[in-house]
Amino acid sequence: MTGLGTLVNTGAVIVGGMAGTLLRSGIPEKYKKIVMQGIGLSVLFIGISGTIKEMLTIIDGNKLDRQFIMLMIFSLVIGGVIGELLKIEERLENMGEWFQSKLPAKGGSFSTGFVTASLVYCVGAMAIVGALEDGLSGNPSTLFAKSILDGISAVVFAATMGVGVAFSAIPVFIYQGGITLLAGFIKPWLTDAVISQMSLVGGILIFAIGINLLEIRKINVGNLLPAVFIPLVYYIIRSLAGI
């Protein structure tokens, strides 16, 4: 276990977010709007492609494994209920508002940038797989690649949504660092199927973030975050029960 990948990723988000914030004041509002729409479409595409990729890994001939699909549905439902009980989205927004209250500049979109960037950087397959690789084998290469992508996207996000994007480095550090620390404990249950199922749910959540960015419909993606870990919990329970 190194944790180096998470540290580099956290730094990349901070640097990219701050750079984008400096550019923000020089961008006319009409350009910010079209850029946000471009980002929304990009995130939507990433979510769709990630979901399709993971579903293709479990195609047997021309037939999908029904258990896989049912687990995906139950993960989103159960994870959503857990997230509502824990009020994850509300807590993220409150955290963003608290940070905003401590800053001299009052940007109205601080909380939006903080929550959106936090979710985008946390729910993807690279965050999960990269943190696991870093924790299990000390290999941070996936998180290094993610750091480059996150750093570049942070510049664009912050240029349109403000400095809240830079502060999303805090949830990234906690989330990925936590997975890295727990990797050794959960290693016995981390089969390819489990990782694929977790990544599939993550892809669906990224798709939902894209819908939010395009203002098609407001989805409380933060409250769906626990859904990513339901497949892991399911297989742990099955293993312990000897099923």
**DSSP characters over 98-157:** HHHHHSSS--TTHHHHHHHHHHHHHHSHHHHHHHHHHHHH---HHHHHHHHHHHHHHHHH
* 106 has a pLDDT exceeding 80: no
In a domain, 243, yes or no: no
What pTM was computed for the model?
0.81
Please give the residue range of the domain that contains residue 72.
4-238
Domain count, the chain: 1
Per residue in 109-136, pLDDT tens? Answer: 788 889 889 988 988 778 888 898 888 8
60 falls in which pLDDT band (50, 70, 90)? low
Residue 46 lies in a domain: yes
| pLDDT attached to residue 243 | 66
